[in-house]
Amino acid sequence: MLQNQNSPSSRMSDLVRAEFDRFTLDSLVTFAIRAGMHVELRLAA
């Protein structure tokens, strides 16, 4: 069976392999919050 590139297991595999460039910042923050992590963003010029 071919796996859809955006299937949940494919996305989880990308996270486990630390392929963060495949995700938007918004989705990474959402994953972290759902995992119970505290997220803080700091911007510097």
2 is written with which tokens?
Answer: 């071919």
Rounded to whole angstroms, the Cα distance separating 37 from 28 reads: 11
What is the pTM assigned to this prediction? 0.64
Residue length of the chain: 45
Position 31 scores a pLDDT of 86
Owning domain of residue 18 = 1-45
**pLDDT of the chain, 45 residues: tens digit per residue:** 444 556 667 778 877 888 888 888 998 899 889 999 999 999 998
44 is written with which tokens?
Answer: 């510097």
Q: How many domains does the chain have?
A: 1
Position 39 scores a pLDDT of 95
Position 5 scores a pLDDT of 58
